[in-house]
Chain A
Amino acid sequence: MKGTLAGVLARPWIWSFIGALAVWLAAITFTGGTGAGGMLTAALSLAVFTVVVGVGQMFVITLGPGNVDLSLPANIGLASAVAMTVMAGDDQRIAFGLLAALACGAAIGTANYLLIWALRIPPIIATLSASFVIQSIDISYGRGLQIKPPPGFADFTNIQLFGIPLLAVLTVLFMIGAHVMLQRTIFGRSVLAIGQNMRAARLAGIAVNRVRFATYVLCGTLGGINGALLAGYFRGANVDIGNEYLLASIAVVVIGGTSVAGGKANIPGLFGAALFLVLLLTMLNTFGVSAGVRLLLTGLIIVAVITAAGGTKRER
């Protein structure tokens, strides 16, 4: 750790937290201070889901140019339906439902990589076309109906400790684990190495295909568990439950300071970026702007933040 302020500011992830703080301050200035704590609690509750898929997407993007998982929204939708169906509203079956969601996500990740590896389809096309198949399976499997979570699981997603959602605490622990995995394990270092230069990584003896395979499965699995958690928090699985995570999962990776070109990942920034996105929505909703203006501002602000974060990198 560099002790100076400049040292802190040089860290790419700090910008996402600064952005989150700025929009939060703007929102509470507007309300004259009311609801400051409530906004943070709501932001923490909602940011969790973006972080979980964001970590998966970050590992995939770190594999290098062209690597991205566009099947996450469909994956989340299907896994939410599978998890809630297996749980069948019964508290005793929560663990089975979670396992089913994990398995469903892992299967989707496997299918994605099979398309990429065996058929040599670029990841963008492979995961996008996979998502159409997954969504069709979901529609015929769930018949578009809302499937409710068991009461125990639903309550679990709402537990708060002194205003801090339990899921947010667990997510921080999960992020620490992911950080260690990225920086300290052979798998994580291999992902970074492949992202920096795939050919060099292969020549250095890294099992490139195996690592890429594991990364897509990891991302799929995280999508699966996210589907189950979302269905619990939002009280019901449905096909569209993961829709917003296509853009959000990529946006948090980029805003959080991870290089889109791959080879350079940043876990802490994901949390700041996810908070930033939710607080941005909070701020714009608090200002009471219309839907059109809100979408416009969201786009502009994300572009501005990415430009600002990228600008500091070029200076170094």
Chain B
Amino acid sequence: MKSGIAIAAVCAALSSTIIANSALADTSGKKIAFSNNYAGNSWRQAMLKSYEIVTKKAVADKVVAAADIFTTADKEVPTQAAQIQNLILQGYDAIVINASSPDALNGAVKQACDAGIVVVSFDGIVTEPCAYRVVVDFKAMGRQEVEEMAKFQPKGGNLLEIRGLAGTSIDEAIHAGILEGVKAHPEFKIVGSVTGDWDQTTAQKAVATVLPSLPDIVGVVDQGGDGYGAAQAFAAAGKPRPTIIMGNRQDELQWWKEQKAKDGYKTWSASIAPGVSTLAFWVAQQVLDGNKSIPHDLLVPYLAFTQDNFETELPNIPKGGVASHEYTQAEAVAAIKANMK
């Protein structure tokens, strides 16, 4: 059993800066709500599952009094805004939120802050300054994709880029990273760009329509959730299989494993871990704990797998799901500390 003292000890071991402010307040009486706006894909399901595992244990260990999950039925902003207002009335001390819009929820979020509630957003972040934002370093991920591509295709060549949901900050960040990577590796040239919406079906369709008009492609740089669809589109068009960067989905890694077994196919896989929801939870807990020095914008690393370790991870991912990583409190404190330098 972890008590407050044990937690403080863990914090002390890992983080000397935080310990000065840590455990000022007891969070065992605090209630944290999770406001989520969608549950219909494998990433969101993994996100909820990771969150449940970690928070159940946190409640059992009496780190917090309650950690309830509220998911709205649609992706609509008004529904989630109303939900946040309900959570304020229900007297939660903190709200962890995966927001349906970066700015449209700011009014409701401000109301929560004014009521003394800690708001931590992740994945779908909110721009309201009083809230905390847990953001994955997507730009670095995009850049690294091209770095890895350069290892597998040292001679360079034509790349196809698959973009994510248009207008999102994530799509812009990964795209910017990829462009930076290509600048550093002039042997590569992006000859085509399609929109895959991080969705296998959309990606396969988009790649299928553009492939006939493209010259030979050596590699596909993408944003996760679209790699398997791209592979199918190349196969259906009878085109040679390029190096496709994967996005930690089970079917992508399974396909990679099959190709590797066949002819030693090499690639790289990276994505935002759905378990980042648990990091957001710990951030909320730490803020409630009295840690006022936590920066409002936290940058955390993405989750990547390489040729050597993806097969070890594969059995841990549910069939049709996505690889995740649940943060322990100690890891969360370390991740927060990394942002305080």
Identify the A interface with B (CB < 8 A): 27, 30-31, 34-39, 41-43, 45-46, 132, 135-136, 138-139, 143-148, 158, 230, 234-236, 238-241, 244, 278, 281-282, 285-286, 288, 290-292, 294-295
For A236, the chain B residues whose CB sits under 8 A away are: 200, 228, 251, 320
For A34, the chain B residues whose CB sits under 8 A away are: 212-213
For A31, the chain B residues whose CB sits under 8 A away are: 213
- In the bound assembly, the distance between CA atoms of A72 and B45 in angstroms comes to 23
Contact among A145, A239, A290 with B319 in the assembled complex (CB-CB below 8 Å) = A145
A147 and B213 contacting across the interface, CB-CB below 8 Å: no
- In the bound assembly, the distance between CA atoms of A37 and B205 in angstroms comes to 17
With A135-B40, A240-B40, A291-B195: A42-B166 Cβ-Cβ less than 8 Å: no
B318 and A35 contacting across the interface, CB-CB below 8 Å: no
For B194, the chain A residues whose CB sits under 8 A away are: 285
* Contacts A132-B73, A236-B320, A285-B209 supplied; 19 other A-B pairs, CB < 8 Å: A34-B213, A38-B212, A38-B237, A41-B237, A42-B211, A45-B236, A132-B74, A136-B73, A139-B40, A146-B42, A146-B321, A158-B236, A235-B229, A238-B42, A238-B199, A238-B200, A285-B192, A288-B193, A292-B166
Query: Which B residue's beta carbon lies closest to that of A89?
Result: B319
With A145-B319, A240-B41, A292-B166: A230-B212 Cβ-Cβ less than 8 Å: no
For A136, the chain B residues whose CB sits under 8 A away are: 73
Q: Is the C-beta of B232 less than 8 angstroms from some C-beta in chain A?
A: yes
B73 and A46 contacting across the interface, CB-CB below 8 Å: no
Minimal beta-carbon separation of B245 from chain A (angstroms) = 18
Q: Is the C-beta of B133 less than 8 angstroms from some C-beta in chain A?
A: no
For B319, the chain A residues whose CB sits under 8 A away are: 145, 147-148
For B40, the chain A residues whose CB sits under 8 A away are: 135, 138-139, 144, 239-240
- In the bound assembly, the distance between CA atoms of A110 and B167 in angstroms comes to 39
- In the bound assembly, the distance between CA atoms of A76 and B110 in angstroms comes to 39
For B253, the chain A residues whose CB sits under 8 A away are: none
Report the interface size class on chain B. Answer: 35 or more
- In the bound assembly, the distance between CA atoms of A143 and B205 in angstroms comes to 24
Q: Is the C-beta of B204 less than 8 angstroms from some C-beta in chain A?
A: yes
Dominant secondary structure at the A interface? helix
A35 and B212 contacting across the interface, CB-CB below 8 Å: yes
For A244, the chain B residues whose CB sits under 8 A away are: 202
With A136-B73, A234-B232, A238-B201: A145-B318 Cβ-Cβ less than 8 Å: yes
Q: Is the C-beta of B12 less than 8 angstroms from some C-beta in chain A?
A: no
Task: Point out which of B193, B210, B228, B249 has the most chain A C-beta atoms below 10 A from its C-beta.
Answer: B210
For A288, the chain B residues whose CB sits under 8 A away are: 192-193
Minimal beta-carbon separation of B175 from chain A (angstroms) = 10
Within 8 A of A (CB), among B58-102: 73-74
B210 and A146 contacting across the interface, CB-CB below 8 Å: no
Contact among A30, A135, A158, A240 with B201 in the assembled complex (CB-CB below 8 Å) = A240
Minimal beta-carbon separation of A242 from chain B (angstroms) = 9
- In the bound assembly, the distance between CA atoms of A75 and B249 in angstroms comes to 25
Contact among A42, A139, A286 with B237 in the assembled complex (CB-CB below 8 Å) = A42
- In the bound assembly, the distance between CA atoms of A266 and B23 in angstroms comes to 72
Q: Is the C-beta of B39 less than 8 angstroms from some C-beta in chain A?
A: yes
Query: Which B residue's beta carbon lies closest to that of A140?
Result: B39
B320 and A45 contacting across the interface, CB-CB below 8 Å: no
B42 and A144 contacting across the interface, CB-CB below 8 Å: yes
For A35, the chain B residues whose CB sits under 8 A away are: 211-214
For A295, the chain B residues whose CB sits under 8 A away are: 166
Task: Point out which of B192, B212, B250, B321 has the most chain A C-beta atoms below 10 A from its C-beta.
Answer: B212
Closest 10 CB pairs of A and B: A38-B212, A35-B212, A145-B320, A291-B166, A146-B320, A144-B45, A282-B209, A239-B40, A285-B210, A35-B213
Q: Is the C-beta of B31 less than 8 angstroms from some C-beta in chain A?
A: no
B73 and A286 contacting across the interface, CB-CB below 8 Å: no
With A132-B74, A292-B166: A144-B39 Cβ-Cβ less than 8 Å: yes
Q: Is the C-beta of B139 less than 8 angstroms from some C-beta in chain A?
A: no
For A27, the chain B residues whose CB sits under 8 A away are: 213
Contact among B195, B209, B229, B250 with A234 in the assembled complex (CB-CB below 8 Å) = B229
For B212, the chain A residues whose CB sits under 8 A away are: 34-39, 41-42, 282
- In the bound assembly, the distance between CA atoms of A238 and B45 in angstroms comes to 12
Contact among A235, A241, A281 with B251 in the assembled complex (CB-CB below 8 Å) = A235
Contact among A30, A144, A235 with B232 in the assembled complex (CB-CB below 8 Å) = A235
- In the bound assembly, the distance between CA atoms of A143 and B232 in angstroms comes to 24
Contact among B39, B45, B201 with A230 in the assembled complex (CB-CB below 8 Å) = B201
- In the bound assembly, the distance between CA atoms of A169 and B176 in angstroms comes to 43
For B74, the chain A residues whose CB sits under 8 A away are: 132
For B213, the chain A residues whose CB sits under 8 A away are: 27, 30-31, 34-35, 38-39, 282, 286
Query: Which A residue's beta carbon lies closest to that of B206?
Result: A285
For A132, the chain B residues whose CB sits under 8 A away are: 73-74
- In the bound assembly, the distance between CA atoms of A294 and B195 in angstroms comes to 10
B318 and A234 contacting across the interface, CB-CB below 8 Å: no
Minimal beta-carbon separation of B199 from chain A (angstroms) = 6
For A241, the chain B residues whose CB sits under 8 A away are: 201
Minimal beta-carbon separation of A266 from chain B (angstroms) = 26
A146 and B251 contacting across the interface, CB-CB below 8 Å: yes
